[in-house]
């Protein structure tokens, strides 16, 4: 069964460093998303992406964040200068369509900023 994959599973970085989190969405899906979950808190929406453009972004997704689909399969989230409060589990998701279609999540990347 197709699934969303994410790499790495765990990333440790120092404050101020740039990180790139990678995702491979399900191959026939057209809509891509990033969410994050700080330990013990809710899953929060960061950004949605369709047709090589950001469709929507939350207040969390500030200028330090960017997304890219560099080729036909990968979808990346870049954090330019990490802060301690960026430590969280980052989930990529994809869906076939827009409204009323299931979003399938990857296993997540645990980002630890020291």
Partner 1 sequence: SQQGEEDPQALSIQEGENATMNCSYKTSINNLQWYRQNSGRGLVHLILIRSNEREKHSGRLRVTLDTSKKSSSLLITASRAADTASYFCATDNSGYSTLTFGKGTMLLVSP
Task: Using CB under 8 A, list all residues that contact partner 1.
Answer: 31, 33, 35, 41-45, 48, 50, 55-56, 58, 89, 91, 93, 95, 98-108, 110
Residue 98 CB, nearest approach to partner 1 (Å):
5
Instruction: Give whichever of 12 and 98 is closer to partner 1, judged by the CB atom.
Output: 98
Instruction: Give whichever of 20 and 43 is closer to partner 1, judged by the CB atom.
Output: 43
Complete DSSP assignment for the chain: ----EEE-SEEEE-TT--EEEEEE--TT--EEEEEEE-TTS-EEEEEEEETTEEEEE-TT--TTEEEE--SSS-EEEEESS--GGG-EEEEEEEESSSTT---EE---EEEEE-
Instruction: Give whichever of 17 and 101 is closer to partner 1, judged by the CB atom.
Output: 101
């Amino acid at each position: 069964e197709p699934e969303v994959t994410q790499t790495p599973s765990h990333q440790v970085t120092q404050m101020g460093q740039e990180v790139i989190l990678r995702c491979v969405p399900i191959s026939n899906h057209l809509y891509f998303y990033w969410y994050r979950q700080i330990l013990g808190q809710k899953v929060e929406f960061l950004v949605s992406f369709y047709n090589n453009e950001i469709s929507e972004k939350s207040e969390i997704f500030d200028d330090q964040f960017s997304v890219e689909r560099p080729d036909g399969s990968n979808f990346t989230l870049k954090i330019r200068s990490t802060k301690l409060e960026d430590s969280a589990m980052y989930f990529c998701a994809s869906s076939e369509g827009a409204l009323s279609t299931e979003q399938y999540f990857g296993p997540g990347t645990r980002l630890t900023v020291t």
